Chain A
């Protein structure tokens, strides 16, 4: 008996602070491991040696005129690519790394596997055929370590003043304790007002705690995306999210993914 198949239509994809899956129709996460032939004299069969790895990510999307997820603000989706690397004066940004979060599975709920990477736009093709839809073909090159992690928060909800924990009690099992540190990415794709939020990934050796800070994202005042890697805390298999709202209650739509490394 075969395993239940995963339909591609349910995949989710966040490029920087845009939930681009709502406009996209194809994504490919490409892991390439660089092998060099290390075969010496006298051997009949080639022997390869692994040098290192790199990731590229291709996203094909429709060219639309409103910003997801609400589709109310004017926003042509070529910006989801263009804005990652090019500023308002059409100059190339100095260090244009942005997180890409890819959830290939079916549910995209807390605890589900997710891939994430810190990446630079490599190419964008804007295609407008006379007899078809305008389409965007983008390719990103990951810079640095690949994240094979889990969703630890995926919510659209109102956050009151003060700290809200996700989940409210316990944590999300990351499956492995890790030995080096913690890596995480956040995409706040919806924000209803202007309060300042401090969002942390906290970790513990047991689901029940005690939890300590593993990663503190930069203060969030608007829609934003960040990628963080912290080597000061390791060996704790359970993660939770702390959302501290310094202002009045407001609604956030966010996804946070993390892994132990």
Chain B
């Protein structure tokens, strides 16, 4: 017997263009990966045969793959920090809803602050132009279900 799977197409990703409110850019996206990394340091002492680790802290990053699109409020302008790129280097809020907009018991919301780390635009002669954005965490990563 299996549980109800969460399908990726229901995911929602919002990120701010600047220091203000988040903007939903999901309509242009096709894949999101939230990477949580916990930094464990080797704290093994003399006399033991198996390594022992101590958890130090955590960090996170987000990989966002999308179709490239231009215009007010869509992905290119949002990620680039507005039409003049005035806020490209701003710390921005984000929200990631893996199972649709929540939060609720079955629709967790991940949120926090990020900096844009990279945003390559790829144009292929025989395909759709795409964009991949990578964000680096700049705050606590929060998980909410209510």
The reply to whether B49 and A133 form a contact with Cβ atoms under 8 Å apart is no
Interface window among A3-11, A137-145, A163-171, A234-242? A137-145
List chain A residues, Cβ under 8 A from B105: 74-76
The reply to whether A120 and B50 form a contact with Cβ atoms under 8 Å apart is no
In whole Å, how far is A190's beta carbon from the nearest beta carbon of chain B? 14
Q: A130-B8, A132-B8 are in contact. Are A78 and B98 (CB under 8 A)?
A: yes
In whole Å, how far is A64's beta carbon from the nearest beta carbon of chain B? 4
Whole-angstrom CA separation of A130 from B57 in the bound complex: 31
The reply to whether A74 and B53 form a contact with Cβ atoms under 8 Å apart is no
Contact with B along A41-60 (1 / 0, CB 8 A): 00000000000111100000
Contacting residue for A125 out of B4, B36, B53, CB 8 A: B36
List chain A residues, Cβ under 8 A from B1: 22, 71
Whole-angstrom CA separation of A43 from B30 in the bound complex: 57
Interface window among A84-92, A99-107, A194-202? A84-92
A68 at the interface (CB under 8 A from B): yes
A220 at the interface (CB under 8 A from B): no
The reply to whether A123 and B38 form a contact with Cβ atoms under 8 Å apart is yes
List chain A residues, Cβ under 8 A from B5: 62-64, 133-134
Contacting residue for B9 out of A22, A71, A131, CB 8 A: A131
User: How many residues of A are counted as interface, with CB atoms below 8 angstroms from the partner's CB atoms?
Assistant: 50
The reply to whether A86 and B106 form a contact with Cβ atoms under 8 Å apart is no
Contacting residue for A64 out of B6, B36, B57, CB 8 A: B6
Q: A71-B3, A76-B106, A90-B143 are in contact. Are A129 and B8 (CB under 8 A)?
A: yes
* Residue on A nearest B30 in the bound complex, by CB: A130
Quick one: which of A127-179 are within 8 Å of B by CB? 127-134, 141-146
List chain A residues, Cβ under 8 A from B143: 78, 82, 86, 90
In whole Å, how far is A51's beta carbon from the nearest beta carbon of chain B? 9
A126 at the interface (CB under 8 A from B): yes
In whole Å, how far is B15's beta carbon from the nearest beta carbon of chain A? 15
The reply to whether B55 and A92 form a contact with Cβ atoms under 8 Å apart is yes
B2 at the interface (CB under 8 A from A): yes
B108 at the interface (CB under 8 A from A): yes
Whole-angstrom CA separation of A118 from B32 in the bound complex: 31
Quick one: which of B39-62 are within 8 Å of A by CB? 40, 44, 48-55, 57-58
In whole Å, how far is A259's beta carbon from the nearest beta carbon of chain B? 13
Whole-angstrom CA separation of A82 from B108 in the bound complex: 12
* Residue on B nearest A78 in the bound complex, by CB: B108
In whole Å, how far is B73's beta carbon from the nearest beta carbon of chain A? 20
The reply to whether B3 and A23 form a contact with Cβ atoms under 8 Å apart is yes
B142 at the interface (CB under 8 A from A): yes
Whole-angstrom CA separation of A34 from B50 in the bound complex: 10
Residues of A within 8 A of B (CB): 22-23, 34, 52-55, 62-66, 68, 71, 74-79, 82, 85-86, 90-93, 95-96, 120-134, 141-146
* In the A-B complex, the 8 residue pairs with the closest CB atoms: A74-B105, A64-B3, A128-B11, A54-B51, A134-B6, A128-B8, A130-B30, A65-B106
- 19 example contacts (A-B, Cβ-Cβ < 8 A) are as follows A22-B1, A52-B49, A52-B50, A55-B50, A65-B99, A71-B1, A75-B105, A78-B108, A82-B36, A82-B143, A86-B143, A126-B34, A131-B30, A132-B8, A134-B5, A134-B8, A134-B98, A142-B53, A143-B52
